[in-house]
Each structure stands twice: as structure tokens, then as C-alpha cells.
Structure 1
Amino acid sequence: MNRDPAPGGPRILHISPTTKLGGVSEVIRSELPYLAELGWRARWIAANDLDEAHDAAFVLHNALYGVPVGDFPAATVRQGVERFLAANAERAAAAAREADVVVLHDAMMLNLATAIRDTVRSAPGSAAPVIVWRCHVGSEHLETIDRAAVDFLRPQLDAVDHLVFSHRDLVWSGWEDDPRVTVVPPGIDPGSWKNRELSEEVRAAVWPYLHAARGVSVAELTGEDDAVVEVRDFGTGGLRAPDSPFVLQVSRWDPLKGQLGVVRAFESLAHRDADVELVLVGPHIDDRENYPANRRVWQGLMDARAELPTPVRERVHIWRFGPVRRTGEDIALNLLRRRARTVVQNSSRESFGLTVAEAMWQGAVVVGADVDGIRGQIRHEANGLLAPFTEGRPGGSAGDAGPWADTVLRSLTDGPGRARWSAAARASVEEHHLSRTGVERQVAAFTGASAGAGSPVRAGFR
């Protein structure tokens, strides 16, 4: 694959909260090689000084995810947005002058739309870029989307040329017929270290350390001097043996990812399968870049584990990656998914779920919560299994552990089903959820959004 942009091709600028953490960064990173292959010159910048706007960003994130925030705190959000714009608007507009398409990712970045539009249009000799807002969050329960948040963002929404949602069921009520709306599911890059086939050499070098939650250099394997696989167990230990069967969930430390329910519900599963273990793995926590809720979620998981009966607790492992180069983390995730007996994703909200697509691509048997974007990927009984979201509560109550444990147990023990689901999972990702497909859809949308037949973007794709 040619990953170098063609000289003189159309220019695209991505602006996101960070280039390091989370699904948004994963999506952008996976798409850049394919944009280059199609001749686009891509630039990607992260917001400055988002710390002072964290509260506003978190409120907007939850409000558009359909998570109750009470009365929308417009004054607090406005204050945070003003601080954000003071730190970012001028820089973003300057970068946008050199772009044909500007893609703003998620709610806080959307607030740059009018600043970019007005600044660039007022500059002598500057052609206004196509401005795209990409919404990576949402809920199929459209009535839960905070309309006050949408109204707050409306001036910015009016300033964009295109709105991209990840699933048709997540397009807001009343916006379905807006000609600017396009649905583009995210995709994965099959050539990345996180998704590529791993050689026996890599597996043999890494697994003896990884299963024991110990670090190991992979510099010789990758050609990167500082590439290290490093997970930290914080007293929860490694697997009991290299070949121990285990259930895996890979998620950031977020209340919406449902790890707490998995820890609690695992007790029910453990009583019915004496061998299976549980591994929850997530990113390094840096209080300068993470929401405060991330550390609280992680600590809540540690506390819930401590409350389990000793024989069950010893089979529950909560690992965090160290602050290492991405390559090592990606190799670890790839190998963990390939070694897991079942991969679960117990999210209460999921606009897409890259971790699901990644696991399915690797041929894992996946049990996903029956919500939003996960349901868009998993066809129950065809390429995986869907289970009700669980909070791990006692039987008979909402969100109880029983249905989840039943489904996961079946995923562990149904031999013919496992073979069928694994093969179909990979095939479905290959057909629908590779980054190349998403990039091609976006290119079509951007060319259509360009104003005038002579625009650089339209001309680049005639």
C-alpha cells in the first residue's frame, strides 16, 4: 500500500480532542493510510488546553450519548466553550486555511465551526473549506438525547456542510431528511499491529510475559527501539497458567462500558465453569488527559473485585497498560483477543464499538450487549451472540447477571457454534467495517458537499 500522499492532492484536516486516547483517535489513525492512498494530503491536530474545558466537554459528550445530565447546565458549558475557543479558535482557523476539507470530531470540536467559517471566509483570497462534523456518540433511544444540548450547538451545526453519524439509528429525530447527513460506520485498519496476523515468533516472544502481566521489549520484533509490551496488574495477578481459558473485555475506563457489571456477573459464571478466568484491560490513566471519571471507574472495579469470594476474586484480573509506545499496546491487545476464549463488550451505550469490530476481525467469539452500534455489527446467532446489558445484579432484577452469564457460558461451550460465529465474524468485518470502506464513503460525501464544480475537492475526484 502506498501510504504517502500524492503531491498536489486535496487536503484534509482532522481536529480532535487528542491524538492519543480513545476510539476517535483510533478511527482517524486507521483512516489516514487509505486517505493517502486515494491521493489526499492529511493533517491531524489535537485541541490545546482542553483541561479547562473538561467539564463542558464531559457534559456535551454525555448529553449527546443520551446519558441523563439533569437540567442542561448551559452557563457552565458556555463558559467552558469560551475557554476552549480562546485556546484553539485562532490556531484551528489558521490550519483550516490550508485545507479543502476540515473534519471536526465530536461535540467540543464542533464549537470551532463558526470560527473557522467566518475567519477563513473573511481572509483575502481564501477559499472556504468544506466543514464536516463527525458525531462519534449517540443512542438509538433518540428521546434520551438532550435537546437542550442540540439547541446549544445549533449555531455550530448550521455552520457545517456535512454531518456524519456512525449508524442510521443514531441520527437525531427531525434530522433524518437533512441533506447534509451521511451515515459512515467507522472501520479498522487490518494492516495495523492491533489487527494484523501475528507470527508464531511474536506470539512465542510475548505471551509468556503477557499472560503473567509482565513487561517485555518487542523492539527487535518491530524495529522500534522503544516498543514495549507493558501491563500492570495492581495486585490482581496474571492468568493462573499460560493456557488458562479466559473471558476478555477491552475498554477505556468509562461508566458506559459496563465493566462493573462484568465483574459482578462473573461470579455467576465462575460458579458454573470452574476454570474460566476474567481479564479486563484498559489504557494507562493520565490525570492530565483523562476525565476524572476514568480513575473512579477503575477504582470502583478494584473495589468490586475485592468484594468477591476469594476463589472467584483470584480469577478476576484488572490490567492497565503502562505509558508506553502504542505499538507494544497494540500487539498486546491483538494477542489477548486471539488467546481469549470469548471476548465480551458489556456497554450500556455504544455508537459503534471498535473493540467489537477488532475482535470479530481476529476471529474471536464475541458476546456483545444488545445495544446501539454493537447490534449493528453482531447478528445474533449468525456471527456472534447478543446478551442483555448487565449490571451484575441478583437474579430477578433489571440488569441481572443471569442472562449475561448464560450467554457467555454458551459461547464457551458450544463447539459448533463457536466455529460458525468465528468465521462469520471475520467475514462480516471484511465486508462492512474495514477503514478503506469508510474512507471511500466519506470521500464520496465530501465531494458531494463541495461547493461548486471547480472546488479543489471536487476536481480531485472527477
Structure 2
Amino acid sequence: MTDMLTRYAAIVGNEVIDHLYQLAEPLEGMNVVHVNSTREGGGVAEILHRLIPLKQELGIRAGWEVVSGDAQYFQCTKKMHNALQGDREEIPDDLLQHYETTNARNFERLQARLKDSDIVVIHDPQPVPLLNLCHDRKGKWIWRCHIDASRPHRPVWKYLQQFINGYDASIYSLPAFAQPMNHPMYIIPPSIDPLSDKNIELDEEETNAIYKDYHIDPERPVISQISRFDRFKDPVGVIQAYQMAKAFGPPLQLILAGGTATDDPEGEEVLAEVKMAAKGDPDIHILMLPPDAHRTINAIQRISDIVLQKSIKEGFGLTVTEAMWKGKPVIGGNAGGIRIQIVNHYTGFLVSTPEGAALRIRYLIKHTDRLKEMGATARAFVLENYLLTRHLREYLTLMVAVVRGVRERIELFNNH
């Protein structure tokens, strides 16, 4: 067992790690490449930063490539993202043509790697046309959709489907997110890495530094939301919930911490809306953090009494699991993958409005025993369901199935 996997065994147990080795044995030496649109910012990049090294530790020749594009390209892919989540986005033909041309340029750069790989995993809509350009491919191609595509805007879905149909398999985070396809479909919820800077245990000195660095009062309750500044994350709704809870309860403080991703052109506009909604309230702390501020985010969640993720629509929402791992009850939007992370009334609360969020904030701040109990339940739930080792196990199982052409039961044999 390698040093890295030994560290995971200390958290999840040796049996889990032994199972990973067993699953990886048929894949040893295979070339596997993941392709997405950004190396920093957002949950996809965070997961890949941790999954790729673990696959390598298990003897798989795993790698990661990133497609590049200009502002026009990312404007198009943002519209696609919104349309898959149900917005009625109309994408002009010239923008779609630019999208295809940009992918063609990326294929020229990446084609040797893509053609030679045994398994290619394409993440989300940005690089999805690459398969159609790879006419003499060697391996199996998988499309990984991290988006809630349960009710997509049909014209945009129909356009993307012409590229997706040719894949050997597709992966969704929840059964409800999947669209009917002519190939096998798999369900793999995302995960967090308990050993990453964002989730590792921190000493008291490092967590307490947040109070001083960002002028937070350690004597008053803190609520927080950690997210990109995106309308689907509803940061303005979080401010409204905070204002309502504070008006009829204790003197709360709110931290809204996040940043923008390189593939999201709307971030600055949403940030301006958030600052306007805050109206200069000194107890609302709006923090623009760099993509590598993982330990800062970790510490913010640890000093928070309650963490919010009040998304209107959400593919999964890794920040929910991150906060639960730190023993925090989470008040989350009743949307997408948040629903399978928060067990309502046990690990947190699901809400649909700012008023509902405010009500739950006031309840938890008043009932501190219940707050601690829910936090402990939340951590135990993450340990069982949403750590990286479970995620890796399911990826390995899927890869064995795709390579062998198995649609149902997968038989694994340990030759040792």
C-alpha cells in the first residue's frame, strides 16, 4: 500500500483500500485521460485534482487535459450550462459554430493523446464534440455530466445530443438528472477528499486567524455560504435570509466567500448584485478568494455555526458535503444533488425560500444542542457515503464494465 492510500486507510479502513486494489487490477497499465474546461475553480476541477493521483497510485496511467477557449466560447458554454438546467437559452448559430471551431482547434492539440487512450472521460458540455472529431479512436469514451439535466431546454439538448449519442457510456450524479440515451448510463455522485487542504483537520491557531484576518467577531454567531458568485447559488437570497433572521433573533454575522471560474463569464455581474444587496452592512463579509484558498475556506467553514448552500438549481453542491464533514448542519436549497446530501431534519434542513432559510437559522441558533447533534450526524453520513474512496471505487467499477462491454453484473477475481 502506498503512503497516500495508507493515509486514506486510516480514515475509511483497510478493507476499503483492498477493494480498490482489487478493482484496479484489470485496469493496470491502461491509458486513461479526463478532459474538462478548467484546471481551477469549481467542483469538477477539485475532484480531478484528487482522483487522478489516486488512479496513478493504483497502477493506471491516468492523465488530465484541459480545453482552452476565448470569451465567446465560454459565453456559449455558459448558455449551454444554463439551458441544461432549464433556462430557455437561445444560442445563435454563429456562437454554436464558434463552439465547434474552438473544439476542433483543441482536438488538433490533443488528438495524439485522445486517440491513444484506452478510456477517455469528457466532462460536461464544453469538450463534448471532441468524440465526433476522433475518427480512428482506440478506446472507450465516456461523457460525465455534472449538471442537473433533468429538464433541459429541448433545442439545446437536441443540439448536444448529436455529439453525446456516439459515446460508449454516460455518467450522471443522480438518476433524476439523466436523459434517455442509446448507451449504458451510470450514476456516480461526487465526493470530497478528507485529506485535501479544504477538508483536512486544522489547528486552533489557523482557524482562529480567520476572525482577525476578516474582522469577524468570535463572540457572535457566524453563518456562511461558500460558492462561486452564480445566480443559481442564490447569494442574494442568502443575504435576504440573513437579514430576516437577524431582525428577529441574535446579532448574526454572514460570510459570503467565493470567486469566479475561468469558464463562467457571469461571475463579476453577480458579484456586483451581491454587493448591492449587502447595502454596506458591516456584518456581511463578502470575500473574493483565489482558486487555491482551500485552507481559508476550510477555516471559514470550521468557525461557522451554520453553513448555507441555498442553491436554486444544483448539480450536486460539494460545499454541502464539505461543511457536513466538519460537523456543521447545513441549510440547503431543495434542489438537485443537495437533496441526497441533506437528510431533512437530521443532517440539516432543505428550504425553498429565503423565509424558510431564515426560520431554520433562527431555530438552530436558539437550539444549540440540536445544532451539535445534527452536525455530528452529518459528519457520520459523509463518512459512509461521500468520501473520495467511494467515488474512486465506483469509477473503477464503471471502467471495468465499459472495457469489458458489461451492462449488468461485473465479476471480479482476486488472483493473489
TM-score of Structure 1 vs Structure 2, range by shorter chain:
0.7 to 0.9
- Structure 1 residue aligned with 2:192: 188
For residues 130 and 30 of structure 1, do their structure 2 counterparts lie closer, same or farther at Cα, with a shift above 3 Å needed? same
Question: What residue in structure 2 maps to residue 396 of structure 1?
Answer: none
Q: Does 1:94 align with 2:47?
A: no
1:249 corresponds to: 225
Q: Do the aligned residues in 2 keep the contact of 1:276 with 1:315 (CA within 8 Å)?
A: yes
- SS, match of residue 292 in structure 1: coil
Q: Deviations over 1:96-116 (max 9, x none)?
A: 133211110001211112113
> Counterpart amino acid of 2:199?
N
Measure, in 2, the Cα distance between the counterparts of 1:449 and 1:30.
22
Deviation of the 1:8 alpha carbon: 6.2
Q: Is the 8 A contact 1:52 1:84 kept in 2?
A: no
**Cα distance, 1:205 vs structure 2:** 4.2
The answer to which of 13-22 and 74-83 deviates more is 74-83
TM-score (norm 2): 0.87
Letter in 1 for 2:133: A
Using the aligned pairs only, state the percent identity.
Answer: 27
Which residue does 2:211 correspond to in 1? 211
Q: 1:322 to 1:27 in 2, by over 3 A?
A: closer
Structure 1: distance between partners of 2:152 and 2:83? 6
Moved over 3 A (4+): 1-8, 458-462
Match of 2:80 in 1: 60
Match of 1:377 among 338, 341, 353: 341
Mean Cα deviation higher: 146-155 or 128-137: 146-155
Residues 320, 183 of structure 1: alpha-carbon distance in 2 compared, 3 angstrom cutoff: same
Counterpart position of 2:18: none
- Counterparts of 2:146 and 2:414, CA distance in 1: 26
TM-score by length of 1: 0.79
CA contact (8 A) 1:30 1:189 kept: yes
1:34 equivalent in structure 2:
54
The aligned residue for residue 231 of structure 1 is none
- 1:147-170 CA-to-partner distances (Å, cap 9, x unmatched) read 212211222112211100001111
Q: RMSD over aligned Cα, in angstroms?
A: 2.5
- Counterpart contact for 1:361–1:429, Cα < 8 Å: yes
Offset of residue 446 of structure 1? 1.5
Partner of 1:339: 303
* Aligned equivalent of 1:80: 98
> What displacement does 1:48 show?
2.0
| Structure-2 residue corresponding to 1:412 | 365
Report deviation, 1:451.
5.3
Partner of 2:243: 267
> Who is 1:317 aligned against?
285
Structure 2's unaligned 5+ residue stretches are 6-23
In the alignment, the residues of structure 2 paired with residue 439 and residue 322 of structure 1 have an alpha-carbon distance, to the nearest angstrom, of 27
Matches of 1:8 and 1:448, distance apart in 2: 15
Q: Distance in 2 between matches of 1:292 and 1:53?
A: 10
CA contact (8 A) 1:55 1:80 kept: no
Partners of 2:317 and 2:338 within 8 A in 1: yes
1:103 alignment partner in structure 2: 121
Paired with 2:405 and 2:186, the residues of 1 have a C-alpha distance of 19
Deviation for aligned residue 1:423:
1.3
- Label 1:3 to 1:460 Cα distance change in 2 as closer, same or farther (>3 A): farther
Which of 437, 446, 451 does residue 390 from structure 2 map onto?
A: 437
Taking the aligned partners of 2:172 and 2:399, their CA distance within structure 1 comes to: 14
Take 1:205 and 1:416, find their aligned partners in 2: how far apart are those partners?
26
TM alignment of 1:55-204, pairs within 5 A: 55-69=75-89, 72-73=90-91, 75-116=93-134, 118=135, 120-121=136-137, 128-139=138-149, 142=150, 144-172=151-179, 174-175=180-181, 179-198=183-202, 200=203, 203-204=204-205
Any stretches of 5+ residues in structure 1 without a counterpart?
Answer: 122-127, 215-237, 391-400
Q: Distance in 2 between matches of 1:28 and 1:342?
A: 28
Q: 1:249 and 1:279 mapped to 2: Cα distance? A: 6
Q: Which stretch shifts more, 379-388 or 82-91? A: 82-91
Superposed displacement of residue 83, structure 1: 2.7
Please report how far the alpha carbon of residue 50 of structure 1 lies from its aligned counterpart in structure 2 after TM superposition.
4.2
Offset of residue 2 of structure 1: 4.3
Cα distance in 1 for partners of 2:107, 2:67 equals 9
Deviation (angstroms), 1:10:
1.6
355-364 vs 414-423, greater mean Cα deviation:
414-423
Separation (CA, whole Å) in 2 of partners of 1:50 and 1:243: 47
Distance 2:250 2:375 in 1: 24
Question: Deviation of residue 440 (structure 1)?
Answer: 1.1
**Deviation digits for residues 385-439 of structure 1 (CA, Å, limit 9, x no counterpart):** 1111x3xxxxxxxxxx322210111122222321221111111111111111111
Closer, same or farther: CA 151–21 of 1 in aligned 2, 3 Å: same
1:426 and 2:379 aligned: yes
CA distance in 1, matches of 2:177, 2:287: 32
Cα gap change, 1:459 to 1:416, in 2 (>3 Å)? closer
C-alpha spacing 1:410/1:434, structure 2 compared with 1 (3 Å):
same
